[in-house]
Structure 1
């Protein structure tokens, strides 16, 4: 069974206040290639690690 995939057409940035920290935050959403999934790049950490959004990472 195939899954239908969708992505956004253009990059978009949002800014606001962090829910748990109250710190100012900025998030940029970018279109992804086919079969890429969701990932987060932590620009606030050394080396800007990329973290895949996976169910087993939820605590």
Structure 2
């Protein structure tokens, strides 16, 4: 993961008030997205997409 991706993730964690567990889950989802994209490394778009999925998960939680 490059520095821009790391900064994006840390900013999202701080602004959304997410836990360390959420940080790990977002990284796992971002890694999966990167794999599906055929990318060797996690990039900012992968982090952004994973954060969006996390936000949707929190919004539609029962």
Per the normalisation by structure 1, the TM-score is: 0.22
The structure whose RCO (Cα within 8 Å, separation 6+) is larger is 2
- Name whichever structure is richer in helix by fraction: 2
Per the normalisation by structure 2, the TM-score is: 0.21
